[in-house]
Structure 1
Amino acid sequence: MDSDVVIIGAGPAGLMLANILGMYGKSVTVLEGLSSLIDYPRGVGLDDESFRTIQTVGLANAVRPHTSPQHIMRLVNGAGKVILVNNPRTEEFGWERKHSFIQPEVDRALYEGLTRFDNVEVLFGHRVEEVEEDSDGVTAIALVDSESGEVTRRSFRGRFLVGCEGGKSPTRKRLGVSFDGTSPSTRWLVVDVANDPLGTPNVFLGADPKRPYVSIGLPHAVRRWEFMLHDDETEEQVTDPTYVGKLLAHHVPDPAGLDFIRRRVFTHHARVASDFRRGRQLIAGDAAHLMPVWLGQGWNSGVRDATNLGWKLATVLSGQAEYDLLDTYTTERRAHAKAMVDLSLTFGNIIKITNPVAALARDVVSSVLNRFPQIKSYFSEMRFKPMPRYTEGVLADPSDCTSGRADATITSRLVPVRSANIKVSPVGVQFPQPRVTVANAGVVLLDDAIGNWWSVVVWGNSPRDVLPQNALRRLGALGARLVAVLPETQREWAQQHMDADVLIVGDHTGLLKKWFDDRPTPLIFLRPDRFVAGACLTQNGPATLDAILASMSFIEHTPVEASDTAPDAM
């Protein structure tokens, strides 16, 4: 059975990757060893970057009912006093920065979303035992239990294979890459209950030196507690209902009346694979990195992997780029995954202090820092979270158009650069997503207007009027959409005077004008994953485009008209 990509594992990374590839018209076979999706709660945090990808694959309306947006986190000490609040209010990327969510329901929405694609198949009860790779593709051999009790072997052939089968990933082990990091010795008991007996929303992180804990209000009236266990407490002991009742005695009026979903002991892991690809086999999600739960980034990091890898696989499969493009997956994703692991470890170490003197010192320092508004807002607005910034990969430096890298600062002696409010480069970071006005569609989010492939965005003018024919020809071969962003006052005029193939976007909120006004980069080359590949003055557009295409090992074919699913056109 042949397909473009074989994915092992029907978890969030595998399901999201299958949705992205299905959207781009690629054939996918997902092999899952279990008989069904996991139905108990696991991850509890979903961020705006992930929701933007969910929007891209057309599943925002299916996912939204299983989320609580604007989830607030409060760090409290042993006395219950709040020592830190995390409540970011931005909607920079089109969605609230933090959501709580019910993972089984969201995973199911991703799974059911695959039924839209005739080219995608998910097979449960298929345990992959062997993988054979050759110069043309990869063959996965799976064992399947029949109703009669017999075990059959089935072979699945793909041009690429992606292992998304979790932290014990056989794919990672086959690749022979290291899994660097630590597994802290502390163990935790997680308790999920239905019909939330407290009913309060949001998150409380209990930095209690006697026993650190977590209390989380989730959608659908689910509540989660997590308690750090002492070394002398056994798993059998702490999962006993009576013992769990004692742990909950300070949190719930009547522990005996709880409707338990699960009680389970787990250990945090903090590991990152040294490489995410060898040959035609790749890894994503927990197979590539494991991180402590403190910042709720495990599920999101897997989605980030799929977002980065999906369009690159589609590009290679369509013959638009050499296989070298897939090397940028590790280059771009590994550094940020490690940064999130390190931050999660640090945050956990602050919470789980058990020495009373050290805990008191932490509380005193927190109280002092909270008196400084700038420091307080640094934590409240979640600016401590490292946002992805790619400095190597599918990029062009904004200062000298070097291919494959981008410094964080724009340097130039030109007046527009020297006088700009912000000289931090937008290359390698996500472009914002405000609401815009488009003819025949009204007010929509920016991504819904420009589609899900490459875009060339120019402020105040048509890309056709600022780029030469050779550059426009190469953009046509890439399948890029040409976008003109104008003040809303000029939109109707532009629709009468600009070429019909240029998408005219009205900036009725002024947010895009401010973004462009602050930066000396009125021309943006926007990747399918919404990261900026290049940003420049309009006269530097051709050189910037050439550098971007070189960084992705682009193979130029006969130009095609831009479309929302450009890989299909190749």
Structure 2
Amino acid sequence: MSEHTEIRTEVAVVGAGPCGVTVANYLGRYGVQAVLIDRSTEIVDYPRAVGMDDECVRSFQGIGLAEEVLADAIRNVSLKMFGADGRCFADIRPATDEYGWPRRNIFMQQLAEATLRTGLERYPQIKPMFGHELDRLEQDGTEVRLHVTGPAGEKLLVRAQYVVAADGGRSTVRGQLGIPLVGDTHPAKWVVIECDNDPLDAPYTGLHCDPRRPYVCVDLPYGYRRWEFQLFPGEDAEAMLRPEKVHELLTGHVPDPRALNIVRARVYTHHSRVAARFLDGRVCLVGDAAHLMPPWAGQGMNTGIRDATNVAWKLAAVVTGRAHPRILSTYDTERRAHARAMVALSDTLGRVLCSTNTWTARTRDALFRGLTVAPQVRDWLLQMRFKPMPRYTEGVVLHGRRPVAKKSAVGRMFVQPKVETADGRSVLLDETLGEWFTLVGYGTDPLVHLDPESRAFWDGIGTRYVTVTESRSGRSRAERPRSGTDSVVLEDLDGTLRDWFAAQPGTVAVIRPDRYVAAMAHAAELGTLSGAFERLLAPRRQPDRHDEQPPRPTAVPATGGAS
């Protein structure tokens, strides 16, 4: 029996890509102890995700890093689709900012990952373990044991209450748990090329549906540009990475292919697969470990960040005693169906855009041009309303009626307009909501309507209370609306919240930590609603986590193997 080091922690995150590091940042923000394990000591530098949507940026806002990530991104970038004749048949420029951020932002994944890793430095209870490789894991009803090899070959045993597997499409964790990826692998491969001396004046993302060879051209930050070319049957994928073949692919697209400084080139295979389950005992799968999809909707990483944001608050709720462990089952309930929807969207777009049959391609172009004459269809396409928005009909949500009303906001992400604070600052709404549950009342103070027992429950799980009033409803700048309770008072600057609440059956919204609407109620119904939520979460009244665990991940020498 060899000597090894034993590390005890509350959560172990395996994989330090964007999803894993996002989980770790959220756990740090929630005060949870965690280790972050990754076999590599460096950030991977080959071409990966380049599109970041508004929901993703809002998730980064939740860990205080949205502006830092966007500092290396190009905001509000249009997406143009070009037909078989080379003419643009769709110029997608989403104008919506209902979640507080532009819907299309172009970035470079390695820069975003560096920012997210730097963010971990704020949390002493988060221990990065880069250069460490997971060999195997085992779990029982009380913990997960991870057998890990360090950079010098040393053996470690990590004992965690829960594990998040964010270790990519070839997930070691998923493989050891025997969880299958259900779906297909597409036969066509793609060559992805990036240069750092962009020669084109094309500040947009272009999907070129050319049947002779479909390709994508993306304007990236800092003078970089990406090309993605579809390969045909019989073409040798690795041979296509040779300089002469790369220049051949770029011929006709740039003035002088040989003048480009090619910094990255790689061959990719597209997959459309979803794990059979996202939760196995005490292990949760997120990101590429849980689902793989083609890039056409730009939703691979974005879907993974939604996973990370969803699972992080639920794990934190369990280990801090705010909720019963059974709520973890809602991670699978809420996220797997949406991942399947995003894969289906990506598949559909791929079939439409990547046809290599000239007649089919020209028919498609004519159909798109004809359909976009109708204002409603044009708006559906150009504002990206075809993207399936998450809506949770089951999980940590309470719907007042069955079947669920189609227009109900319950289970959907809450809007995020700018509001005005008591000291006159104009800020995005989330900056005022805190990091846990929030009761938001429009024109009513939630605290006034809570009986002592209900108040004790909400206070016990760290809830914040917010009262929204109409803009300029005070007597003057010096006499703004105030609350006689502990509620935060905000003014609805542009009427967005007024209109939102007017369309809903209630004046009080329960907002989850991930900014989804968990329930709606009228003020008089808050007592009943509070009781229902207490039964749903079933929190432990006296969390014992710090009696059982050290204040941060600790390493102690031990002998013998895993028990």
Shorter chain as denominator, the TM-score bin is over 0.9
- Which whole-Å CA distance do the structure 1 matches of 2:535 and 2:173 have between them? 30
- Which whole-Å CA distance do the structure 1 matches of 2:475 and 2:401 have between them? 35
Residues 119-518 of structure 1 mapped to structure 2, 5 A cutoff? 119-146=125-152, 151-399=153-401, 407-409=404-406, 424-440=407-423, 442-491=425-474, 498-518=483-503
Residue identity in the other structure for 2:342: M
Residues 108-127 of structure 1 mapped to structure 2, 5 A cutoff? 108-127=114-133
Deviations 1:475-494 (A, max 9, x none): 11121111100013235799
Q: C-alpha displacement at 1:132, in angstroms?
A: 2.3
Q: C-alpha displacement at 1:469, in angstroms?
A: 2.6
SS for the counterpart of 2:11 is strand
For the 8 Å contact 2:231–2:237, the answer to whether it is kept is no
- Which whole-Å CA distance do the structure 1 matches of 2:64 and 2:163 have between them? 24
* Structure 1: stretches of 5+ with no match in the other structure: 401-405, 410-423, 559-567
Deviations 1:34-82 (A, max 9, x none): 1211123310100111111111101123212111111111110122111
Q: Which deviates the most, 549-558 or 481-490?
A: 549-558
Residue identity in the other structure for 1:191: I
Residue identity in the other structure for 1:515: W
SS for the counterpart of 1:330 is helix
Deviations 1:91-125 (A, max 9, x none): 10011111011110001100010001100111211
For the 8 Å contact 1:73–1:203, the answer to whether it is kept is yes
SS for the counterpart of 2:187 is coil
SS for the counterpart of 1:183 is strand
CA distance 1:379–1:537, change in 2 (3 Å): same
- Which whole-Å CA distance do the structure 1 matches of 2:367 and 2:537 have between them? 48
Residue identity in the other structure for 1:346: T
Task: Determine the structure 1 residue equivalent to 2:63.
Answer: 57
Q: C-alpha displacement at 1:87, in angstroms?
A: 1.3
- Which whole-Å CA distance do the structure 2 matches of 1:136 and 1:436 have between them? 44
Task: Determine the structure 1 residue equivalent to 2:529.
Answer: 544
- Which whole-Å CA distance do the structure 1 matches of 2:520 and 2:122 have between them? 35
* 1:554 corresponds to 2:539: yes
| Higher RCO (CA-CA < 8 Å; seq separation 6+) | 2
For the 8 Å contact 2:334–2:392, the answer to whether it is kept is yes
SS for the counterpart of 2:535 is helix
Q: C-alpha displacement at 1:470, in angstroms?
A: 2.4
Q: C-alpha displacement at 1:441, in angstroms?
A: 6.1
SS for the counterpart of 2:133 is strand
Q: C-alpha displacement at 1:438, in angstroms?
A: 0.8
Q: C-alpha displacement at 1:536, in angstroms?
A: 2.0
RMSD of aligned C-alpha atoms?
1.7
Deviations 1:280-326 (A, max 9, x none): 11111100001111111111111101110011000000112221010
Identity of aligned residues (%): 38
CA distance 1:495–1:3, change in 2 (3 Å): farther
Task: Determine the structure 2 residue equivalent to 1:13.
Answer: 19
For the 8 Å contact 2:89–2:369, the answer to whether it is kept is yes
Q: C-alpha displacement at 1:497, in angstroms?
A: 5.5
Residue identity in the other structure for 1:478: I
Task: Determine the structure 1 residue equivalent to 2:3.
Answer: none
Residue identity in the other structure for 1:2: R
Deviations 1:215-246 (A, max 9, x none): 01011111110000011110232111111111
For the 8 Å contact 1:192–1:224, the answer to whether it is kept is yes
Q: Which deviates the most, 339-348 or 157-166?
A: 157-166
For the 8 Å contact 1:52–1:94, the answer to whether it is kept is yes
Residue identity in the other structure for 2:525: N
* Structure 2: stretches of 5+ with no match in the other structure: 1-6, 544-551, 553-563
For the 8 Å contact 2:47–2:265, the answer to whether it is kept is no
Task: Determine the structure 1 residue equivalent to 2:511.
Answer: 526
- Which whole-Å CA distance do the structure 1 matches of 2:205 and 2:428 have between them? 29
- Which whole-Å CA distance do the structure 2 matches of 1:59 and 1:492 have between them? 36
Deviations 1:515-553 (A, max 9, x none): 112323211000000000001222222222322333334
Q: What is the TM-score with the length of structure 1 in the denominator?
A: 0.91
CA distance 1:179–1:492, change in 2 (3 Å): farther
SS for the counterpart of 2:154 is strand
How many residues matched?
536
Task: Determine the structure 1 residue equivalent to 2:546.
Answer: none
CA distance 1:248–1:117, change in 2 (3 Å): same
Q: C-alpha displacement at 1:334, in angstroms?
A: 0.4
CA distance 1:191–1:530, change in 2 (3 Å): same
* 1:78 corresponds to 2:84: yes
For the 8 Å contact 1:132–1:140, the answer to whether it is kept is yes
- Which whole-Å CA distance do the structure 2 matches of 1:470 and 1:250 have between them? 72
Q: C-alpha displacement at 1:160, in angstroms?
A: 0.8
SS for the counterpart of 1:427 is coil
Residue identity in the other structure for 2:529: T
- Which whole-Å CA distance do the structure 1 matches of 2:65 and 2:474 have between them? 30
- Which whole-Å CA distance do the structure 2 matches of 1:65 and 1:279 have between them? 39
Residue identity in the other structure for 1:531: Y
- Which whole-Å CA distance do the structure 1 matches of 2:456 and 2:158 have between them? 39
Task: Determine the structure 2 residue equivalent to 1:413.
Answer: none
For the 8 Å contact 1:325–1:553, the answer to whether it is kept is no
SS for the counterpart of 2:160 is strand
Deviations 1:427-480 (A, max 9, x none): 000000001011236111100011111000011121122333322221111211
Q: C-alpha displacement at 1:557, in angstroms?
A: 5.0
* 1:105 corresponds to 2:90: no
